[in-house]
């Protein structure tokens, strides 16, 4: 009998026909079906499922479930609804890493070349030239050195930036200074203090919630910027807005004036590029929408590629069904949350 593999996605997220079609093409030897289309009397056959953001109760309908293959790099939507004793594998896709690294580079360049400031000047009718900072003098710090973070720091390094990274466990990357320790250790603070641009790629866990708050922003140099492509809860929204509105330099070193011909236009944090939020879509009327020092993106920095994710998911599912093999590079530690 052809193994039955449900595709599990919350109805709140709407359908994802493109991914389902890609999974069917990648796994013609498997019976891939949307969970709601499977007869209740057959649910006991299922030992592995492919999840694209399940809702509470969906996975609990599968009494013999042993493995969930996520189509997302993050698993914070799965862990709270995952039955006890079930393994979960996140999506590790080289194309996703490449796409995220491209986004990190694009928005780092946007900040590096002062695009937000020039946009404000245009709105104000100001013709002001700012001194160019060369990439080798622009310090970029990346929080999170997993698959996506490693690709990002290597891309930034190859474009000439002065790059550092932080991870929970020790990492070694040529040409990149790497810090490591617990989130309450000195490595994160050291990275924040020396970074003109901080890029967050950390997952959403209990330990990372609120990590980038008032104390963290106070460590960052005046005039520095933030890119959040990790998860929304890592950032304390109120603290970020306060830092963007704060023109003082209390407790922080200045990156230096590089402006000619006009009064400095500096807040403690120069700009924030935000792609992820506590609530998505970002609610109407949220202060981020209209803030002149915030760029809002609709969670587009690292989208799942249906074609490549389907091939990877199918291979992992097939290996598990053959002999119970688990994808070692993608298996999630439920105690850590990633």
Measure the CA–CA gap between 225 and 214, rounded to whole angstroms.
Answer: 14
- The reply to whether domains 4-93+304-323 and 96-296 share a CATH topology is yes
Measure the CA–CA gap between 33 and 23, rounded to whole angstroms.
Answer: 9
pLDDT one-digit tens code per residue, 276-323: 999 999 999 999 999 999 999 999 999 999 999 999 999 999 999 999
pLDDT at 247: 74
How does DSSP assign 109-131, residue by residue?
A: HHHHTTHHHHHHHHHTT---EEP
**pTM metric for this prediction:** 0.91
Q: Point out which residues pair with 112 in neighbouring strands.
A: none
| % of residues, the chain, pLDDT over 70 | 94
pLDDT at 195: 98
Measure the CA–CA gap between 4 and 25, rounded to whole angstroms.
Answer: 15
Q: What is the CATH number of domain 4-93+304-323?
A: 3.40.50.720
- Confidence at 214, pLDDT banded by 50, 70, 90: very high
∠94-79-36 over CA atoms, to 5°?
90
Mean pLDDT (whole number) for 69-88: 95
CA 41, chain centre distance (Å): 39
**Whether 180 contacts 170, CB under 8 Å:** yes
Q: Which residue has the tokens 């694009």?
A: 106
**Whether 85 contacts 68, CB under 8 Å:** no
Domain ranges of the chain: 4-93+304-323, 96-296
∠328-329-330 over CA atoms, to 5°?
90
Quote helix, strand, coil % in the chain, to nearest 5: 35, 20, 45
pLDDT one-digit tens code per residue, 79-106: 999 999 999 999 999 999 999 999 999 9
pLDDT at 265: 62
CA 11, chain centre distance (Å): 23
Retrieve residue 213's tokens: 């708050």
The third-level CATH classification (topology) of the domain covering 96-296 is Rossmann fold (3.40.50)
Task: List, by residue number, the catalytic residues.
Answer: 231, 299
DSSP 262: S
């Amino acid at each position: 009998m052809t193994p039955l593999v449900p595709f599990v996605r919350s109805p709140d997220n709407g359908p994802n026909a493109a991914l389902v079609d890609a999974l069917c093409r990648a796994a013609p030897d498997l019976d891939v079906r949307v969970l709601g289309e499977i007869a209740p009397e057959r649910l006991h056959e299922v030992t592995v499922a492919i999840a694209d953001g399940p809702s509470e109760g969906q996975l609990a309908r599968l009494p013999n479930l042993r493995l969930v293959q996520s189509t997302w790099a993050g698993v914070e939507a799965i862990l709270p609804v995952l039955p006890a004793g079930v393994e979960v594998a996140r999506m590790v896709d080289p194309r996703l890493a490449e796409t995220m690294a491209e986004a990190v580079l694009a928005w780092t360049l946007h900040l590096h070349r002062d695009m937000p400031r020039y946009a404000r000047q245009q709105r104000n009718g100001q013709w002001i030239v700012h001194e160019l900072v060369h990439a080798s003098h622009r310090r970029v710090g990346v929080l999170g050195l997993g698959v996506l973070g490693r690709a990002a720091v290597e891309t930034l390094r190859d474009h000439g930036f002065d790059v550092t990274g932080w991870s929970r466990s020790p990492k070694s990357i040529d040409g990149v200074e790497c810090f490591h320790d617990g989130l309450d250790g000195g490595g994160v603070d050291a990275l924040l203090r020396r970074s003109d641009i901080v890029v967050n790629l950390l997952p959403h866990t209990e330990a990372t919630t609120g990590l980038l708050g008032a104390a963290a922003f106070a460590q960052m140099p005046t005039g520095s910027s933030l890119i959040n492509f990790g998860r929304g809860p890592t950032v304390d929204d109120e603290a970020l807005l306060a830092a963007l509105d704060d023109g003082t330099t209390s407790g922080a070193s200045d990156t230096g004036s590089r402006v000619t011909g006009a009064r400095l236009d500096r807040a403690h944090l120069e700009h924030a590029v935000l792609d992820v939020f506590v609530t998505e879509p970002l609610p109407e009327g949220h202060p981020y929408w209209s803030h002149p020092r915030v760029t809002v993106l609709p969670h587009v920095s690292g989208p799942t590629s249906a074609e490549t994710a389907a091939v990877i998911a199918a291979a992992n599912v097939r290996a598990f069904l053959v002999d119970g093999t688990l994808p070692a590079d993608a298996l999630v530690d439920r105690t850590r949350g990633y």
